[in-house]
Each structure stands twice: as C-alpha cells, then as structure tokens.
Structure 1
Amino acid sequence: MKICVLGAGSLGCAIGGTLAKAGADVTLINRRPEYVDAINRNGLTLRGAGGQQRVRVLAATSAAGLGVMDLIIVLVKSFDTLAAMQGAMCLVGEHTVVLSLQNGLGHEDVLADLVGADRVLAGKTYVGGLLVTPGVVVAGTQGKETLIGELNSRTPDRANAIAELFNAAGLVTTVCTNIRATIWDKLLINVATGALSGITGLPYGALYQVPEVRACALAAVAEAMAVARASGIQLSIQEPHEAWDKAAAGLPFEFKASMLQSLEKGSITEVDYINGAVVERGAALGVPTPVNATLVACIKGIERGLQFHPQRKEAA
C-alpha cells in the first residue's frame, strides 16, 4: 500500500514515521524545504518512551510527481484543508482512499466535496507529536488510540484494512461504526487543553499542575458536551474530567498542544475549528458557550499580537 501523509508536521511525522518504521511505503509532504531536506538527508528521528530511532522515509514539498497513492492521510491544519487537497489531486486514483485525522469539525465534508464521499474515511487520533528540530520528532504513540470509520453505511472493509496496517505498525487503531460521535469525543479532548495551553504557554506537565486551569478546562468541555447532546450526538465521554484526564495520558511532561506549537511558530491556530466550532454550533442551537467564547477571544488576541510584535515570532 502506497501511503502519503499530506501535512507532515509533528503529528504527521509521528504517524507516518511509525508506519515507515514498520516497513510501509510512506511519503511525507511538508511545504517547508528545510524540513524536507533534513528528512531526506538524515532520515526522520522518532523519540518516544522506548528511546529514539532513525527511520528512512521519503519527504517532498508538494504532491507533484509522486504518482497515485492508495491512502492519503490528511493532517494539514484545518484552515488549509481545501487548498492542500486541491493541490494533491494528482495523488488520487480510481481506488485511492482519503483519511482525515485532523482536529476539529467539518474537514471530512470539505474532502468529500472534492474527491467524493465514497473515497473519504474520517477518524481521530490521540497520538501526539512534538517537533524538536527539522527531522526530529517526539512521537507520543504508546497507548494512544486512533479511531477510523466510514462516513456512510458501506461495509467497513477499507477501514478494517487500514486499521490492520496501523495496528501492525504499533498504532493502536479501532474501526468505529459511528465515526461522527467519535469526532465529537476527540473534539472534547482538544477543547480541554488546546486553547489553555496556547494562552498560558505551558506544556502539558505544567498545565496540569494549575487547579484553576483544570476548572476552566472542565467548564469548556461541559459546554461542548451540551452542544453535542443538543445536536443528537451520543458521546462516549460522560463527564468533563474524562476529556481532561485523557488529553495528557501517556504524553511526556514537555509535550505541547498543537495550538501552542502554532503560536510559538508565529502561525495562526485551529481555534475556529475547535472552541470556535463549539461556539458557532451552540449559537445555532441556543446553547450558551461563554467559556469557549472567551478562550477563542484570548487566542485571537494572541494571534493578532504576533502581527503587531513580530519579534515574538522571531524569538519563537
């Protein structure tokens, strides 16, 4: 199976590198030449609970000339989904499957509009990735589950085949019959820690030492759960603390949420697709979401501040 990771940042490298380490035919696409050059020159170094290992894997800055893939794993930032997939249509053949493992809501619908709903699988992963330097990534894979499933009612043969491949590589993967509920479950995890990590600048270990942060996180998750239930979603997470506890399980002290990683690079975040999605859907359903609205406002302010204080971006 030929696999391409579209958007091979820290998480994409963690997943793609783990698959490549197990012998899979993987190509990593990252727009930044320095990342691609480092991987092609020195290999991809994965650091984890069992030490570190260098993996030989192909990297490229675009899809041009790579040929048709059997599986495209989409891990670009939410706001880049449309443009990235439009630029990667040369990878799509008659039997290509497109799997979104992105954070937030709505990506699978964008992909379905481009390549057809029958090609698209949706999923969520609790695997973590943290970029150390170009070509060196902390891969939080141990005990971290990935869940995938069909968007429509077709048989799960394709999903089962992908899960078998992932499991063989050590990526614990389960096929879900109700993937949309799973997407909401993962959203709760991101709501619990993403914005708060970005606002405070704290990695997970330090973040979890502040009781007031925990209280704020639980309030934000409770709002998201109320919105999900008003939407008719049957969540597997029953209490807000479950999302908070699960978010950091198995990750090292220094691990940073993706929103914090984005801000430290001077980039905008995916807050519109996480806390912002809760606020938007809550407003449509008449469910109050003041905590999430406040978190969105804080992140937007920090993003704006990076424009007015470019030296912060350079320091990061």
Structure 2
Amino acid sequence: MKKIAILGCGALGSTFGGLLTEAGFDVALVNLKTDHTDAMEKAGLIFVENDQQRTVPVKVYTDAAKAGPVDLIIVLVKSNFTRAAIEGARALIGPDTVAMSLQNGLGNEEVLEDFLGKGRVLGGKTYVGGTLLAPGKVKIGVKGKKTLIGEFDGTISARAELIRTLFSQAGLATDVIKDIRTLTWQKLLVNVATGAVCGITRLTYGPLQQSTEVMDCAMAAVAEALAVARASGIILEVNHPREVLGQAVAGLPADFKTSILQDVERGTPCEVDFINGAVVRAGEKLGIPTPVNRALVALLKGIELQQKQ
C-alpha cells in the first residue's frame, strides 16, 4: 500500500495522518475546507506530545480529485457524514482501493461498500487520542493506546496484516482480530449507554450518575441493545446494563462530555442514527422492540430541528 488517504481530518484523523506521514508514507489528508485545513496547508501540522511540540509537513486536500486514487482510505468522519464524504471523495477510489472505518457506531461499512464494492471494507476501533488545541495544532495521545482492526468475514487477511505493519511503523500499536463485529458492538453499547441521554439532558458524567431516573433510562436503552446484539449472534463480554454503564464512565472526569453532547452544544448534527438508531434498525429486522432507543433518537432529532429554526 503505497498511498494512503485520511478521509476526515479532525483531531483524530490528523493524528493518524501526521504519524503515518512522519513514518515516511505517502499520505493525503482529505477534508472540507476549514480553519484547521488552512493552517495545516500554510504551516504544517503541529503535534503536541508529552509537553513537547513538533511540526509535520502534511499534504492536505480539500478536493479529492487532486489527491487521485489511493490504495487505502482510512475513514474518520463522523458517521452521519460518511455517505456525503465518500460520495465527494470518489476520486480516491481506484480498482484496488480498500477502505477501513475507524468510526463510531454501526452501519458505516455498508455505506462504504455501496461505493467501493463488497469485500473491500475493513473495520477497526482505536483508543488513540487526539485533541484539537487550535487550527493546525493537535495534542496526541498514543502511548499505551491500541488500535484493533479486522475483516468483517472473520478472517485474518494479508491486507489487514499489512495495515497493522504500516500502523506499527508509525508508532500506532495495532492488533488484527478475528471478530471485529463483536468489538464494534461492544463499543456501540458504551455509546448507547451515555451518548444520547447526555445530549438530551445536557448532563456531563458527574451529574448524570446522580440522577436515578436518567440512569434507569440509560440502562433500559442498553438492555434493548444487549437483546438485539444477542439475537444477532454477537457474543459479548458483558451481560448486564450496569456493567456497560461502568465501562462507559470508568476513568473519566465528572465534567466529561460525550461527543453527542458536544455536537448538541455546537448545534451540529450528531451520530445518533448510527448509535441508538442502529439498535432500532437491527431490532426491526429481528422483531425485537426498542422503544427507549427509538424515543432517544426522536428526542435528539427534535433538538436538531429546533436548532435549525
């Protein structure tokens, strides 16, 4: 894989793009025009790591056609923008291009396969951290943070191993796993537990845990998701909603804000369709009622509509 594109260059996309560039790979950072892309084009990408600062000259494109076809597309846009992003980046797709989603939620791989074709999409989850400090400046957290990738058919493929090698050379500790679907569901459960309820109530993690009623609602949403996952044949490490809630809040400060809450505060569309909405859609296919998740989706849609007025 000689040429790589990062589709979606927020804090995390910039982290991956910058590290892969530093490792000597030909990387195109593809994103809509923003203050952040302008700053990277003019002065490079500034990394802040362990209180030290360094600049990485990166190639930034707001027009995918100028980047041309690549071997690997790493997708890091918000899930609700996946279709629009890959539609606008068709020029990246060549006859042998593969894509890998490192996004939240369920359903991104189906969207990507619509454009690349069946069998040309891998999945993954990363615990690498990236925080945008200012346009063109990102604080990165890589040490001790794993990235897990895999094929959706459960095989350990040569291309997945190649991506693992590329990432490892860039300082991104990466493992290839067989059951990427289970990992995706486990991450989804954590997002189901707190994302929507925090977005609707505007509560951070501290106050969230002080409200019995809100916590009961969160656990009911997780219980529905657990039922749908089991009916889908997913073997999970957790068995009770309380365990999932514990995973969601573990090690995070009382003022922690979920990504959905941050989107609500910014007045931007959130990923609820690919989180709680994914539970609803999977439940419909299996004949499993998901009224709590359906209500959470509806309430967030109402908030978004109100913000447009």
Q: Work out the CA distance in 1 between the residues paired with 2:242 and 2:64.
A: 41
Secondary structure, counterpart of 1:149 in structure 2: strand
How far apart are 1:274 and its partner, in Å?
0.5
- CA deviation vs aligned residue, 1:267-297 (integer Å, no higher than 9, x gap): 1111011111112322333333333233223
Code of the residue aligned with 2:42 in structure 1: it is: R
Counterpart residue number, 2:290: 289
Cα-Cα RMSD:
2.8
TM-score normalised according to structure 2 size: 0.85
Give unmatched runs, 5+ long, in structure 1: 309-316
CA distance in 2, matches of 1:258, 1:36: 21
Distance 1:53 1:251, change over 3 A: farther
Report whether the alignment pairs 1:134 with 2:135.
Answer: yes
CA displacement, residues 73-120 of structure 1 (integer Å, 9 cap, x when unaligned): 012222332232232222223432211112111111221221122321
- Mind listing any 5+ residue stretches in structure 2 that lack a counterpart? none
Cα separation, partners in 2 of 1:79 and 1:192, compared to 1, 3 Å? same
**Residues of 2 paired with 1:303 and 1:289: CA distance?**
21
Give the paired residue count: 306
Deviates more, 1:114-123 or 1:266-275: 114-123
Corresponding residue number in structure 2 for 1:53: 53
TM-score, structure 1 length as denominator?
A: 0.84
1:109 corresponding residue in structure 2: 110
SS of alignment partner, residue 296 of structure 1: helix
Residue 221 of structure 1: aligned partner: 222
Distance 1:246 1:165 in 2: 30
Q: Pairwise mapping of residues 26-175 of structure 1 onto structure 2 (< 5 A)?
A: 26-47=27-48, 50-56=50-56, 57-152=58-153, 155-175=156-176
Q: Describe the superposition over 1:30-80 as per-residue Cα deviations: whole angstroms up to 9, x where unpaired.
A: 2133221111223323445x2353342222212121132221101222233
Cα separation, partners in 2 of 1:61 and 1:215, compared to 1, 3 Å: same
| 1:226-271 C-alpha deviation (Å, 9 max, x unpaired) | 1110122222334434433444556677654322332233211110
Match of 2:9 in 1: 8
Q: Distance in 2 between matches of 1:279 and 1:161?
A: 35
Matches of 2:230 and 2:221, distance apart in 1: 15
Equivalent residue of 1:118, what SS? Answer: coil
Question: Which has the higher mean CA deviation after the structures are superposed, 75-84 or 99-108?
Answer: 75-84
User: What are the residue-to-residue correspondences of 1:151-300 with 2, within 5 Å?
Assistant: 151-152=152-153, 155-203=156-204, 206=206, 210=210, 212=212, 214-247=215-248, 256-300=257-301
User: In terms of mean alpha carbon deviation, does 249-258 or 60-69 score higher?
Assistant: 249-258
Q: 1:106 to 1:284 in 2, by over 3 A?
A: same
